[in-house]
Amino acid sequence: MSRGSFWLIAAVLFVATSVTHLWMIGSAPTGFFNDESSIGYNAYCIFETGSDEYGVHHPVFFRSIEDYKDPVLIYSVVPLIKLFGLNKAAVRLTSALYFICASIAFVFLCYEYCHNKWVALAGGALFAFAPWTFNFSRTVIGGYTPMLLGMILGWWSLLVAVRRKSWLLAVSAGMAWALAAYAHNIGRPMTALLIVCFLTAFISALIPLWRVFLTFLVSFGLSMVPMIISIWRNPHVLTARFQRISIFQQTPSVPHAILAVVGRYVEYFSPKFLFLHGDQILRHGTGTSGVLLLFLAPFVVVGLYSAVRRWSSSAPHRFVLLGLLVYPTAAALTIDHMHSGRSVNGVIFWVLTAVLGIHQLLVTRAKSGRVVVALVTFCGVVETAWFCRDYFGSYQMRARPWFETELTEAIEFCYQNIGINETFYISPSAFELQLHKDNTLELLVDENFHYYPAVLFFGRIPPRFYQRQGIPKDRVRLYDGVAPKPGLLLRRSILVMHEVGVAKYWLDRNTESVPLGATLIKALPCSSPGRYEVYRIP
Protein backbone atom coordinates (compact mmCIF):
# COMPACT_ATOMS: atom_id res chain seq x y z
CA MET A 1 0.00 0.00 0.00
CA SER A 2 1.12 3.56 -0.72
CA ARG A 3 2.46 6.07 1.76
CA GLY A 4 -0.70 8.11 1.29
CA SER A 5 -2.85 5.13 2.27
CA PHE A 6 -0.81 4.69 5.44
CA TRP A 7 -1.30 8.29 6.53
CA LEU A 8 -4.99 8.16 5.65
CA ILE A 9 -5.53 5.09 7.84
CA ALA A 10 -3.38 6.63 10.56
CA ALA A 11 -5.56 9.75 10.47
CA VAL A 12 -8.75 7.67 10.64
CA LEU A 13 -7.43 5.75 13.66
CA PHE A 14 -6.38 8.99 15.34
CA VAL A 15 -9.83 10.50 14.85
CA ALA A 16 -11.54 7.30 16.04
CA THR A 17 -9.33 7.18 19.14
CA SER A 18 -9.86 10.86 19.93
CA VAL A 19 -13.63 10.75 19.45
CA THR A 20 -14.01 7.59 21.54
CA HIS A 21 -11.96 8.96 24.43
CA LEU A 22 -13.40 12.49 24.33
CA TRP A 23 -17.08 11.90 23.49
CA MET A 24 -19.39 12.82 26.39
CA ILE A 25 -16.38 13.00 28.69
CA GLY A 26 -18.14 15.36 31.09
CA SER A 27 -21.10 13.02 31.60
CA ALA A 28 -19.74 9.51 30.98
CA PRO A 29 -19.01 8.11 33.46
CA THR A 30 -21.82 9.70 35.42
CA GLY A 31 -21.12 11.45 38.67
CA PHE A 32 -17.82 12.93 39.74
CA PHE A 33 -15.72 10.93 42.19
CA ASN A 34 -14.14 12.57 45.24
CA ASP A 35 -10.63 12.40 43.77
CA GLU A 36 -11.82 14.14 40.61
CA SER A 37 -13.43 16.97 42.59
CA SER A 38 -10.29 17.35 44.69
CA ILE A 39 -8.01 17.54 41.65
CA GLY A 40 -10.34 20.00 39.93
CA TYR A 41 -10.72 22.29 42.94
CA ASN A 42 -6.99 22.31 43.72
CA ALA A 43 -6.27 23.22 40.11
CA TYR A 44 -8.84 26.02 40.47
CA CYS A 45 -7.02 27.22 43.60
CA ILE A 46 -3.68 27.19 41.78
CA PHE A 47 -5.23 29.12 38.89
CA GLU A 48 -6.75 31.76 41.18
CA THR A 49 -4.07 32.10 43.87
CA GLY A 50 -0.99 29.99 43.05
CA SER A 51 -1.65 27.96 46.21
CA ASP A 52 -3.53 24.74 46.95
CA GLU A 53 -6.73 24.56 48.99
CA TYR A 54 -4.69 24.60 52.23
CA GLY A 55 -2.80 27.74 51.17
CA VAL A 56 0.53 26.04 50.35
CA HIS A 57 2.21 27.93 47.51
CA HIS A 58 2.87 25.78 44.40
CA PRO A 59 3.36 22.49 46.27
CA VAL A 60 5.05 19.42 44.80
CA PHE A 61 2.48 17.22 46.54
CA PHE A 62 -1.08 18.29 47.32
CA ARG A 63 -2.44 17.43 50.73
CA SER A 64 -5.64 15.39 50.51
CA ILE A 65 -7.08 14.54 53.95
CA GLU A 66 -5.12 11.43 54.99
CA ASP A 67 -2.62 11.32 52.11
CA TYR A 68 -1.28 13.42 49.25
CA LYS A 69 -2.15 13.80 45.57
CA ASP A 70 0.46 13.89 42.85
CA PRO A 71 1.13 17.15 41.00
CA VAL A 72 1.12 16.41 37.26
CA LEU A 73 -2.64 16.18 36.68
CA ILE A 74 -3.44 19.10 38.97
CA TYR A 75 -1.03 21.51 37.29
CA SER A 76 -2.09 20.22 33.86
CA VAL A 77 -5.75 20.98 34.59
CA VAL A 78 -4.98 24.66 35.29
CA PRO A 79 -4.75 25.87 31.65
CA LEU A 80 -7.91 23.95 30.72
CA ILE A 81 -9.80 25.65 33.54
CA LYS A 82 -8.54 28.95 32.17
CA LEU A 83 -9.86 28.03 28.71
CA PHE A 84 -13.14 26.30 29.58
CA GLY A 85 -13.94 27.26 33.17
CA LEU A 86 -14.33 24.99 36.20
CA ASN A 87 -16.43 22.06 35.00
CA LYS A 88 -16.26 18.27 34.81
CA ALA A 89 -15.38 18.08 31.12
CA ALA A 90 -12.45 20.48 31.44
CA VAL A 91 -10.98 18.54 34.35
CA ARG A 92 -11.36 15.11 32.73
CA LEU A 93 -10.09 16.34 29.37
CA THR A 94 -6.56 16.48 30.81
CA SER A 95 -6.38 12.74 31.38
CA ALA A 96 -7.77 11.96 27.92
CA LEU A 97 -5.24 14.22 26.19
CA TYR A 98 -2.36 12.57 28.04
CA PHE A 99 -3.67 9.18 26.98
CA ILE A 100 -4.03 10.13 23.32
CA CYS A 101 -0.42 11.34 23.39
CA ALA A 102 0.61 8.06 25.06
CA SER A 103 -1.11 6.09 22.27
CA ILE A 104 0.85 8.04 19.64
CA ALA A 105 4.10 7.50 21.55
CA PHE A 106 3.31 3.79 21.74
CA VAL A 107 3.29 3.63 17.92
CA PHE A 108 6.91 4.84 17.90
CA LEU A 109 7.84 2.34 20.61
CA CYS A 110 6.32 -0.50 18.58
CA TYR A 111 8.17 0.63 15.47
CA GLU A 112 11.45 0.55 17.37
CA TYR A 113 10.82 -3.15 18.03
CA CYS A 114 9.37 -4.38 14.73
CA HIS A 115 10.41 -1.75 12.12
CA ASN A 116 7.09 -2.23 10.36
CA LYS A 117 4.95 0.88 10.20
CA TRP A 118 1.69 -1.07 9.73
CA VAL A 119 2.31 -3.32 12.72
CA ALA A 120 3.34 -0.27 14.78
CA LEU A 121 0.13 1.52 13.80
CA ALA A 122 -1.89 -1.55 14.78
CA GLY A 123 -0.07 -1.51 18.13
CA GLY A 124 -1.17 2.06 18.75
CA ALA A 125 -4.79 1.08 18.07
CA LEU A 126 -4.55 -1.94 20.40
CA PHE A 127 -3.15 0.29 23.15
CA ALA A 128 -5.77 3.00 22.60
CA PHE A 129 -8.72 0.62 23.08
CA ALA A 130 -7.36 -1.59 25.86
CA PRO A 131 -9.96 -1.85 28.69
CA TRP A 132 -7.06 -1.56 31.15
CA THR A 133 -6.70 2.13 30.39
CA PHE A 134 -10.06 3.13 28.91
CA ASN A 135 -11.67 4.15 32.20
CA PHE A 136 -8.56 5.95 33.40
CA SER A 137 -8.40 8.06 30.25
CA ARG A 138 -11.93 9.36 30.85
CA THR A 139 -11.56 10.24 34.53
CA VAL A 140 -9.02 12.00 36.75
CA ILE A 141 -9.10 9.65 39.73
CA GLY A 142 -5.30 9.43 39.49
CA GLY A 143 -2.37 10.39 37.29
CA TYR A 144 -2.33 7.09 35.44
CA THR A 145 -2.28 8.46 31.90
CA PRO A 146 0.61 10.94 32.34
CA MET A 147 2.50 8.14 34.10
CA LEU A 148 2.01 5.88 31.06
CA LEU A 149 3.07 8.67 28.71
CA GLY A 150 6.25 9.22 30.73
CA MET A 151 7.10 5.52 30.78
CA ILE A 152 6.52 5.04 27.04
CA LEU A 153 8.47 8.17 26.06
CA GLY A 154 11.24 7.30 28.51
CA TRP A 155 11.48 3.74 27.19
CA TRP A 156 11.49 4.81 23.53
CA SER A 157 13.94 7.68 24.06
CA LEU A 158 16.37 5.49 25.97
CA LEU A 159 16.26 2.75 23.33
CA VAL A 160 16.97 5.23 20.55
CA ALA A 161 19.61 7.04 22.64
CA VAL A 162 21.52 3.79 23.07
CA ARG A 163 21.16 2.87 19.39
CA ARG A 164 22.20 6.32 18.08
CA LYS A 165 24.57 7.22 20.93
CA SER A 166 22.49 10.38 21.39
CA TRP A 167 23.07 12.49 24.48
CA LEU A 168 20.07 14.67 23.69
CA LEU A 169 17.72 11.68 23.66
CA ALA A 170 19.33 10.44 26.87
CA VAL A 171 18.43 13.74 28.52
CA SER A 172 14.87 13.47 27.14
CA ALA A 173 14.59 9.91 28.48
CA GLY A 174 15.56 11.03 31.97
CA MET A 175 12.94 13.79 31.94
CA ALA A 176 10.25 11.41 30.63
CA TRP A 177 10.90 8.78 33.32
CA ALA A 178 10.81 11.58 35.91
CA LEU A 179 7.38 12.61 34.56
CA ALA A 180 6.17 9.06 35.30
CA ALA A 181 7.52 9.32 38.85
CA TYR A 182 5.79 12.66 39.46
CA ALA A 183 2.50 11.58 37.87
CA HIS A 184 1.42 8.82 40.27
CA ASN A 185 2.61 7.23 43.51
CA ILE A 186 2.90 3.83 41.80
CA GLY A 187 5.12 5.44 39.18
CA ARG A 188 7.86 6.12 41.72
CA PRO A 189 8.76 2.54 42.75
CA MET A 190 8.01 1.16 39.29
CA THR A 191 10.16 3.76 37.52
CA ALA A 192 13.13 2.85 39.73
CA LEU A 193 12.53 -0.87 39.23
CA LEU A 194 12.15 -0.59 35.45
CA ILE A 195 15.35 1.45 35.14
CA VAL A 196 17.13 -1.36 37.00
CA CYS A 197 15.54 -3.85 34.56
CA PHE A 198 16.77 -1.77 31.62
CA LEU A 199 20.29 -1.70 33.03
CA THR A 200 20.15 -5.47 33.56
CA ALA A 201 18.91 -6.16 30.04
CA PHE A 202 21.40 -3.82 28.32
CA ILE A 203 24.41 -4.19 30.62
CA SER A 204 26.81 -5.46 27.96
CA ALA A 205 25.69 -2.86 25.43
CA LEU A 206 25.92 -0.01 27.96
CA ILE A 207 29.53 -0.66 28.99
CA PRO A 208 30.96 1.13 25.92
CA LEU A 209 28.08 3.64 26.07
CA TRP A 210 28.43 4.46 29.74
CA ARG A 211 28.57 8.21 29.07
CA VAL A 212 25.17 8.12 27.35
CA PHE A 213 23.60 6.14 30.18
CA LEU A 214 25.27 8.40 32.77
CA THR A 215 23.74 11.39 30.96
CA PHE A 216 20.35 9.73 31.28
CA LEU A 217 20.86 9.12 35.01
CA VAL A 218 21.98 12.70 35.61
CA SER A 219 18.98 14.04 33.69
CA PHE A 220 16.65 11.81 35.68
CA GLY A 221 18.29 12.76 38.99
CA LEU A 222 18.16 16.50 38.32
CA SER A 223 14.51 16.25 37.27
CA MET A 224 13.75 14.55 40.58
CA VAL A 225 15.37 17.26 42.73
CA PRO A 226 12.10 19.13 43.57
CA MET A 227 10.51 15.85 44.69
CA ILE A 228 13.58 14.88 46.74
CA ILE A 229 13.56 18.26 48.51
CA SER A 230 9.83 17.97 49.21
CA ILE A 231 10.22 14.46 50.64
CA TRP A 232 13.27 15.55 52.69
CA ARG A 233 11.19 18.29 54.30
CA ASN A 234 8.15 16.08 54.85
CA PRO A 235 8.79 12.31 54.52
CA HIS A 236 5.11 11.68 55.21
CA VAL A 237 4.21 12.70 51.66
CA LEU A 238 6.00 9.58 50.38
CA THR A 239 4.67 7.09 52.92
CA ALA A 240 1.16 8.34 53.77
CA ARG A 241 -0.63 6.57 50.93
CA PHE A 242 1.32 3.32 51.25
CA GLN A 243 0.67 3.16 54.98
CA ARG A 244 -3.06 3.14 54.25
CA ILE A 245 -2.99 0.45 51.56
CA SER A 246 0.05 -1.63 52.52
CA ILE A 247 -0.54 -5.35 52.97
CA PHE A 248 1.82 -5.26 55.96
CA GLN A 249 -0.76 -3.19 57.85
CA GLN A 250 -3.40 -5.88 57.40
CA THR A 251 -1.54 -9.14 58.14
CA PRO A 252 -0.64 -10.49 61.60
CA SER A 253 2.93 -11.61 60.84
CA VAL A 254 5.72 -11.40 58.28
CA PRO A 255 5.20 -14.98 56.98
CA HIS A 256 1.50 -14.26 56.41
CA ALA A 257 2.40 -11.03 54.64
CA ILE A 258 4.90 -12.78 52.35
CA LEU A 259 2.33 -15.44 51.43
CA ALA A 260 -0.23 -12.71 50.73
CA VAL A 261 2.23 -10.79 48.52
CA VAL A 262 3.11 -13.92 46.52
CA GLY A 263 -0.58 -14.77 46.11
CA ARG A 264 -1.43 -11.32 44.83
CA TYR A 265 1.60 -11.26 42.53
CA VAL A 266 0.52 -14.50 40.84
CA GLU A 267 -3.04 -13.19 40.38
CA TYR A 268 -1.81 -10.48 38.02
CA PHE A 269 -0.73 -13.17 35.53
CA SER A 270 -3.98 -15.12 35.67
CA PRO A 271 -6.30 -15.31 32.63
CA LYS A 272 -9.09 -14.23 34.99
CA PHE A 273 -7.45 -10.85 35.50
CA LEU A 274 -5.92 -10.41 32.06
CA PHE A 275 -8.67 -11.64 29.73
CA LEU A 276 -11.88 -12.55 31.56
CA HIS A 277 -12.99 -10.42 34.53
CA GLY A 278 -10.28 -7.85 35.22
CA ASP A 279 -10.69 -5.42 38.10
CA GLN A 280 -14.13 -5.57 39.69
CA ILE A 281 -13.88 -2.01 41.05
CA LEU A 282 -16.16 -0.34 38.53
CA ARG A 283 -14.28 2.96 38.65
CA HIS A 284 -11.38 1.09 37.04
CA GLY A 285 -13.18 -1.14 34.54
CA THR A 286 -16.56 -2.21 33.24
CA GLY A 287 -16.58 -5.53 35.12
CA THR A 288 -17.50 -7.43 31.95
CA SER A 289 -14.05 -7.99 30.42
CA GLY A 290 -10.46 -8.54 31.36
CA VAL A 291 -7.97 -5.70 31.43
CA LEU A 292 -7.07 -6.89 27.93
CA LEU A 293 -9.59 -7.90 25.30
CA LEU A 294 -9.81 -11.66 24.80
CA PHE A 295 -8.79 -11.62 21.13
CA LEU A 296 -5.27 -10.52 22.15
CA ALA A 297 -4.57 -13.83 23.92
CA PRO A 298 -3.19 -15.71 20.88
CA PHE A 299 -1.01 -12.74 19.92
CA VAL A 300 0.33 -12.56 23.48
CA VAL A 301 1.24 -16.27 23.46
CA VAL A 302 3.11 -15.95 20.15
CA GLY A 303 4.77 -12.74 21.35
CA LEU A 304 6.02 -14.42 24.53
CA TYR A 305 7.44 -17.24 22.42
CA SER A 306 9.20 -14.74 20.17
CA ALA A 307 10.65 -12.74 23.07
CA VAL A 308 11.89 -15.85 24.91
CA ARG A 309 13.62 -17.09 21.75
CA ARG A 310 15.47 -13.77 21.50
CA TRP A 311 16.39 -13.57 25.18
CA SER A 312 20.10 -14.16 24.60
CA SER A 313 20.45 -12.16 21.37
CA SER A 314 18.24 -9.08 21.89
CA ALA A 315 18.51 -6.70 24.83
CA PRO A 316 15.22 -4.91 23.96
CA HIS A 317 13.36 -8.23 24.10
CA ARG A 318 15.04 -9.08 27.41
CA PHE A 319 13.72 -5.81 28.79
CA VAL A 320 10.16 -6.66 27.71
CA LEU A 321 10.33 -9.99 29.54
CA LEU A 322 11.88 -8.44 32.65
CA GLY A 323 9.19 -5.73 32.58
CA LEU A 324 6.48 -8.40 32.44
CA LEU A 325 8.02 -10.16 35.43
CA VAL A 326 8.17 -7.06 37.64
CA TYR A 327 5.14 -5.02 36.53
CA PRO A 328 2.81 -6.13 39.39
CA THR A 329 5.47 -5.73 42.11
CA ALA A 330 4.10 -2.53 43.62
CA ALA A 331 0.48 -3.67 43.29
CA ALA A 332 1.23 -6.97 45.04
CA LEU A 333 2.37 -5.08 48.14
CA THR A 334 -1.10 -3.55 48.64
CA ILE A 335 -4.24 -4.98 50.23
CA ASP A 336 -6.44 -5.15 47.11
CA HIS A 337 -6.61 -8.12 44.79
CA MET A 338 -6.14 -7.59 41.03
CA HIS A 339 -6.12 -3.79 41.21
CA SER A 340 -5.80 -2.54 37.63
CA GLY A 341 -4.75 0.98 38.63
CA ARG A 342 -1.74 -0.03 40.70
CA SER A 343 -0.63 -2.42 37.96
CA VAL A 344 -1.51 -0.24 34.95
CA ASN A 345 2.11 0.02 33.83
CA GLY A 346 1.67 -3.61 32.75
CA VAL A 347 -0.51 -2.56 29.81
CA ILE A 348 2.60 -1.30 28.00
CA PHE A 349 4.38 -4.65 28.30
CA TRP A 350 1.39 -6.89 27.54
CA VAL A 351 0.22 -4.94 24.48
CA LEU A 352 3.79 -4.69 23.17
CA THR A 353 4.09 -8.47 23.62
CA ALA A 354 0.94 -8.87 21.52
CA VAL A 355 2.50 -6.61 18.86
CA LEU A 356 5.60 -8.82 18.86
CA GLY A 357 3.27 -11.77 18.30
CA ILE A 358 1.59 -10.09 15.33
CA HIS A 359 4.97 -9.30 13.82
CA GLN A 360 6.18 -12.86 14.37
CA LEU A 361 3.14 -14.29 12.59
CA LEU A 362 3.54 -11.96 9.63
CA VAL A 363 7.28 -12.50 9.27
CA THR A 364 7.75 -16.22 9.81
CA ARG A 365 4.50 -17.49 8.29
CA ALA A 366 3.82 -14.93 5.61
CA LYS A 367 0.65 -16.32 4.02
CA SER A 368 -0.82 -18.39 6.83
CA GLY A 369 0.27 -15.75 9.32
CA ARG A 370 -1.66 -13.06 7.46
CA VAL A 371 -4.77 -15.25 7.50
CA VAL A 372 -4.48 -15.80 11.26
CA VAL A 373 -3.86 -12.11 11.91
CA ALA A 374 -6.80 -11.13 9.70
CA LEU A 375 -9.21 -13.56 11.41
CA VAL A 376 -8.15 -12.57 14.92
CA THR A 377 -8.26 -8.89 13.97
CA PHE A 378 -11.84 -9.28 12.73
CA CYS A 379 -12.75 -10.84 16.10
CA GLY A 380 -10.94 -7.94 17.75
CA VAL A 381 -12.96 -5.32 15.90
CA VAL A 382 -16.19 -7.03 16.95
CA GLU A 383 -15.05 -7.37 20.57
CA THR A 384 -13.86 -3.76 20.70
CA ALA A 385 -17.19 -2.54 19.32
CA TRP A 386 -19.03 -4.60 21.94
CA PHE A 387 -16.82 -3.19 24.69
CA CYS A 388 -17.47 0.41 23.60
CA ARG A 389 -21.20 -0.24 23.30
CA ASP A 390 -21.28 -1.65 26.82
CA TYR A 391 -19.17 1.22 28.21
CA PHE A 392 -21.39 3.95 26.81
CA GLY A 393 -24.52 1.89 27.50
CA SER A 394 -25.35 -0.30 30.48
CA TYR A 395 -22.03 0.32 32.25
CA GLN A 396 -23.08 3.91 32.92
CA MET A 397 -25.88 2.63 35.15
CA ARG A 398 -23.79 -0.12 36.78
CA ALA A 399 -21.05 2.31 37.73
CA ARG A 400 -23.23 4.99 39.35
CA PRO A 401 -22.58 3.91 42.97
CA TRP A 402 -18.84 3.68 42.34
CA PHE A 403 -18.65 7.34 41.24
CA GLU A 404 -20.96 8.56 44.05
CA THR A 405 -23.25 9.72 41.27
CA GLU A 406 -26.42 10.20 43.28
CA LEU A 407 -24.85 12.54 45.85
CA THR A 408 -22.79 14.53 43.35
CA GLU A 409 -25.81 14.96 41.08
CA ALA A 410 -27.85 16.14 44.05
CA ILE A 411 -25.15 18.67 45.04
CA GLU A 412 -24.81 19.85 41.44
CA PHE A 413 -28.62 20.25 41.14
CA CYS A 414 -28.74 22.37 44.30
CA TYR A 415 -25.99 24.69 43.13
CA GLN A 416 -27.71 25.07 39.75
CA ASN A 417 -31.01 26.08 41.38
CA ILE A 418 -29.98 28.20 44.35
CA GLY A 419 -30.36 31.97 44.37
CA ILE A 420 -27.47 34.42 44.57
CA ASN A 421 -28.11 35.46 48.18
CA GLU A 422 -29.39 32.09 49.41
CA THR A 423 -27.65 29.47 51.55
CA PHE A 424 -27.10 25.82 50.66
CA TYR A 425 -27.80 23.67 53.74
CA ILE A 426 -26.51 20.08 53.65
CA SER A 427 -27.87 17.65 56.19
CA PRO A 428 -25.38 15.20 57.77
CA SER A 429 -27.79 12.51 56.58
CA ALA A 430 -26.61 13.17 53.00
CA PHE A 431 -23.26 11.61 53.88
CA GLU A 432 -22.30 8.18 55.13
CA LEU A 433 -21.98 7.86 58.92
CA GLN A 434 -19.53 5.57 60.74
CA LEU A 435 -20.93 3.58 63.67
CA HIS A 436 -18.29 2.91 66.36
CA LYS A 437 -18.31 0.09 68.90
CA ASP A 438 -19.52 2.45 71.63
CA ASN A 439 -22.57 3.22 69.42
CA THR A 440 -21.36 6.75 68.70
CA LEU A 441 -21.71 8.09 65.16
CA GLU A 442 -18.92 9.86 63.26
CA LEU A 443 -19.69 12.12 60.32
CA LEU A 444 -17.16 11.73 57.52
CA VAL A 445 -17.22 15.43 56.64
CA ASP A 446 -16.24 18.49 58.67
CA GLU A 447 -17.73 21.98 58.59
CA ASN A 448 -15.24 23.05 55.91
CA PHE A 449 -16.08 20.03 53.74
CA HIS A 450 -12.45 18.91 53.43
CA TYR A 451 -13.85 15.38 53.34
CA TYR A 452 -16.18 16.12 50.46
CA PRO A 453 -14.53 18.32 47.81
CA ALA A 454 -17.55 18.12 45.48
CA VAL A 455 -19.11 20.84 47.64
CA LEU A 456 -16.12 23.06 46.89
CA PHE A 457 -15.95 22.11 43.21
CA PHE A 458 -19.59 22.48 42.19
CA GLY A 459 -20.05 25.51 44.44
CA ARG A 460 -16.97 27.19 42.97
CA ILE A 461 -16.11 28.37 46.47
CA PRO A 462 -13.72 31.34 46.07
CA PRO A 463 -10.20 29.99 46.80
CA ARG A 464 -8.90 33.19 48.41
CA PHE A 465 -11.69 33.18 50.98
CA TYR A 466 -11.55 29.42 51.54
CA GLN A 467 -7.78 29.38 52.09
CA ARG A 468 -8.10 32.06 54.81
CA GLN A 469 -11.40 31.31 56.53
CA GLY A 470 -12.78 28.06 55.17
CA ILE A 471 -16.30 27.65 53.81
CA PRO A 472 -18.30 30.92 53.75
CA LYS A 473 -21.19 30.04 56.05
CA ASP A 474 -23.60 32.31 54.21
CA ARG A 475 -23.12 30.18 51.07
CA VAL A 476 -22.99 26.58 52.31
CA ARG A 477 -23.15 25.01 55.75
CA LEU A 478 -23.97 21.76 57.50
CA TYR A 479 -27.62 21.72 58.54
CA ASP A 480 -28.07 21.55 62.33
CA GLY A 481 -31.84 22.05 62.47
CA VAL A 482 -31.59 25.82 62.09
CA ALA A 483 -31.85 27.75 58.81
CA PRO A 484 -31.39 31.50 59.45
CA LYS A 485 -31.47 32.42 55.76
CA PRO A 486 -33.56 31.33 52.75
CA GLY A 487 -32.03 28.68 50.51
CA LEU A 488 -32.03 24.97 49.71
CA LEU A 489 -31.75 21.98 52.03
CA LEU A 490 -30.34 18.66 50.85
CA ARG A 491 -31.07 15.63 53.00
CA ARG A 492 -31.47 11.88 52.68
CA SER A 493 -34.60 10.04 53.73
CA ILE A 494 -32.64 7.03 54.98
CA LEU A 495 -29.49 7.23 57.12
CA VAL A 496 -26.61 5.05 55.87
CA MET A 497 -24.23 3.93 58.64
CA HIS A 498 -21.09 1.84 58.22
CA GLU A 499 -19.85 -0.18 61.18
CA VAL A 500 -16.16 0.61 61.69
CA GLY A 501 -13.90 -2.37 61.02
CA VAL A 502 -16.74 -4.48 59.62
CA ALA A 503 -17.98 -4.60 56.03
CA LYS A 504 -21.56 -4.12 57.15
CA TYR A 505 -24.06 -1.33 56.57
CA TRP A 506 -26.96 -0.27 58.75
CA LEU A 507 -29.98 1.65 57.55
CA ASP A 508 -32.30 3.77 59.64
CA ARG A 509 -35.02 6.30 58.86
CA ASN A 510 -34.02 9.96 59.00
CA THR A 511 -36.10 11.65 61.72
CA GLU A 512 -34.56 15.13 61.61
CA SER A 513 -37.04 17.99 61.17
CA VAL A 514 -37.09 20.33 58.19
CA PRO A 515 -37.54 24.10 58.62
CA LEU A 516 -41.08 25.41 58.95
CA GLY A 517 -42.59 26.21 55.56
CA ALA A 518 -39.97 24.27 53.58
CA THR A 519 -41.32 22.59 50.44
CA LEU A 520 -39.95 19.54 48.64
CA ILE A 521 -38.93 20.59 45.11
CA LYS A 522 -36.93 17.56 43.98
CA ALA A 523 -36.58 13.90 44.95
CA LEU A 524 -33.54 12.12 43.51
CA PRO A 525 -33.47 8.31 43.58
CA CYS A 526 -30.61 6.34 45.17
CA SER A 527 -29.20 2.95 44.25
CA SER A 528 -29.54 2.02 47.95
CA PRO A 529 -32.77 2.44 49.98
CA GLY A 530 -34.21 5.92 50.34
CA ARG A 531 -33.80 9.01 48.22
CA TYR A 532 -32.13 12.41 48.22
CA GLU A 533 -34.57 15.24 48.92
CA VAL A 534 -34.15 18.92 48.07
CA TYR A 535 -36.29 21.42 50.02
CA ARG A 536 -36.70 25.11 49.31
CA ILE A 537 -36.56 27.14 52.51
CA PRO A 538 -38.57 30.39 52.28
Distance CA 294, CA 379 (A): 9
pLDDT tens per residue, range 55-109: 999 999 998 766 789 999 999 999 999 999 999 999 999 999 999 999 999 999 9
**pTM of the full structure:** 0.93
Identify the pLDDT of residue 498. Answer: 59
Contacts of 207 (CB under 8 A, 6+ apart): none
Torsion sign, CA atoms 25, 30, 32, 35: negative
Identify the pLDDT of residue 49. Answer: 96
Return the higher-pLDDT residue of 440 and 471.
471
Distance CA 202, CA 216 (A): 14
pLDDT tens per residue, range 127-170: 999 999 999 999 999 999 999 999 999 999 999 999 999 999 99
Q: List the single range of 389-398, 423-432, 457-466 with lowest mean pLDDT.
A: 423-432
Q: List the single range of 143-152, 225-234, 238-247, 255-264 with lowest mean pLDDT.
A: 238-247
Identify the pLDDT of residue 347. Answer: 98
Residue 124, Ramachandran bin (φ over 0: left; ψ between -120 and 50: alpha; else beta): alpha
Contacts of 40 (CB under 8 A, 6+ apart): 77, 81, 86, 88, 90, 91, 140, 453, 457
pLDDT tens per residue, range 163-222: 999 999 999 999 999 999 999 999 999 999 999 999 999 999 899 999 999 999 999 999
Q: What is the mean pLDDT of residues 416-429?
A: 91
Bridging pattern class, strands 531-537 and 519-525: antiparallel
Identify the pLDDT of residue 420. Answer: 87
Distance CA 34, CA 140 (A): 10
Distance CA 9, CA 340 (A): 31
Helices 315-326, 187-201: axis angle to 10 degrees equals 150
Identify the pLDDT of residue 495. Answer: 74
pLDDT tens per residue, range 310-337: 999 999 999 999 999 999 999 999 988 9
CA distances from 97 to 22, 30, 269, 460 (A): 9, 20, 29, 24
Identify the pLDDT of residue 436. Answer: 59
Contact 487, 418 (CB under 8 A): yes
